[in-house]
Amino acid sequence: MFKYLLKKEFTLILRDIHALLVLFIMPTLFILIMSLALKNSYSNSVDVKLKVAISSKTDSKEVKQLIQNINENNFFDATYVAPEDNKTILYTQMYDFVIHISPKYLQEIKNNAPSFKIDLMTKPDINNQKIDLIKKLIVASSTNAILSDLLKRQNKTTLTDIESKITTTLLYKNENFKIKPTSVQQSVPAWLVFSMFFILIPISNTFINEKNFGTINRIRSINVSLFPILMSKIFPYFLINQLQVVFMILVGIYIVPILGGDTLIIAGNKALIFLISSAVSMASISFALLIANISKTTEEATTYGGLSNIILAALGGIMVPKFVMPKFMQDITDYSPMSWGLESFLEVFVRGGDFNDISVYVYKMVTFAIICLIIAYSLLKNRS
């Protein structure tokens, strides 16, 4: 009897081609868009630098040196402009910053001139971190120029480039796994987890229709218990989830680089990837069955399921990477099943983690799946 239940489920799935396309096309588009959009967040350079206008009465040697120092930074492109209306420079000439500075500003700093000041003007939507960065560049440039001049006056060698003396060493959790994080390594597992949970829509729709049409009651009338009925729902969608995993990984490896993004590198343990995808699949399917049993109509299931998935994704670091969230939001992500799946994938994809690193997340997902399945079974049994 169980094989006939499976045949019924596969038949229903294959008839709903539109839902299958959504399960694969939607996360693919998200992966492509977010991998390209977040590319610069994981890089030391940007494709489009912020334009900086250095406005001064004359293009003095000091001003030229400041422009040169700012341009050594990967995020800014500074040029000299003659003094004019600030709004024209920002909104007509499309600069991001305007810096008004005296042609002899270094001399004014040395003399501690009371009238000395540097005016920095920018647009309201500029990131505060970029504002702080350019302020520090101005300070660093001025300090180095003054110290270098002081050393020359004392007939000493030039100022040591301290930054060049600072060595950077990347310490990997697994020394045999040295992969630099990229945007695609965040996007693929993130939207993969989201797409696996999005399977809630086709599961709930078919399940509710079967309840409303009396299909489940007719199956039970021939002495079939509820447990195999639920199991027949799980297995086909489990296979679909695994196909999603393979498909999304292939998108990250082959499609994203074609569009100019980074290549997804899979160097982690393949068995652990399957273990994680299985745990995420069980959690997502069990959650879908729970929503399907709570809802009375397909409209309710779509509303409850869609809303809950979006909330879990927002809180789980899917839509916004966890590392850019404030501390209290990062703490909240620990309560989202999607976060457990995402962190598990990141441990394997990015950090080269082993089972001990993902075990707590796997246990949480399995526990979550069991709880959802028990509640769904109880609701179905009481209503049958």
Token representation of residue 268: 């982690």
- Percentage of the chain modeled with pLDDT above 90: 17
Q: How confident is the model at residue 30 (pLDDT cuts 50, 70, 90)?
A: confident
Q: How far apart are CA 85 and CA 64, in angstroms?
A: 21
Q: Which residues contact 322 (CB under 8 A, 6 or more apart)?
A: 330, 333, 339, 342
Q: Both ends of the chain: CA-CA distance in Å?
A: 20
- C-alpha distance from residue 365 to each of 34, 276, 339, 369 (Å): 26, 9, 10, 6
Inter-CA distances, 74 with 18, 35, 366, Å? 45, 20, 45
Rounded-to-5 percentages of helix, strand, coil across the chain:
65, 5, 30
157 band by pLDDT with thresholds 50, 70 and 90: low
> What does the pLDDT read at residue 382?
75
Question: What value does the mean pLDDT take over residues 279-305?
Answer: 87
pTM for the whole structure? 0.73
**CATH architecture label of 45-165:** 3-Layer(aba) Sandwich (3.40)
- 169 pLDDT higher than 60: yes
Tens digits of residue pLDDT in 104-152: 888 888 888 888 888 999 988 787 888 898 999 988 888 888 777 777 7
The pLDDT of residue 269 is: 81
Q: What is the pLDDT of residue 120?
A: 92
Order of strands, sheet of 119-122, starting from the edge strand that comes earlier in the sequence: 76-81, 50-55, 97-100, 119-122
Q: Report which of residues 382 and 173 the model is more confident about.
A: 382
Please say if the pLDDT value at position 69 is more than 70: yes
Are 141 and 69 in contact by the 8 Å Cβ rule? The answer is yes
- State the average pLDDT over residues 221-244: 76
Mean pLDDT of the chain: 81
Among the residue ranges 64-73, 105-114, 209-218, the one predicted with the least confidence is: 209-218
Report residue 242's pLDDT band, with 50, 70 and 90 as the boundaries: very high
User: Which are the contacts of 216, defined by CB distance < 8 A and separation ≥ 6?
Assistant: 210, 229, 380, 384
Q: Would you kindly state where each structural domain of the chain is located, as residue ranges?
A: 2-37+181-383, 45-165
Which DSSP string corresponds to 1-53? Answer: -HHHHHHHHHHHHHH-HHHHHHHHHHHHHHHHHHHHHTGGGGSSS-SSPEEEE
Tokens for 330, please give them: 């990062």
Q: Please report the pLDDT score of residue 98 as a whole number.
A: 92
Average pLDDT over residues 83-97: 88
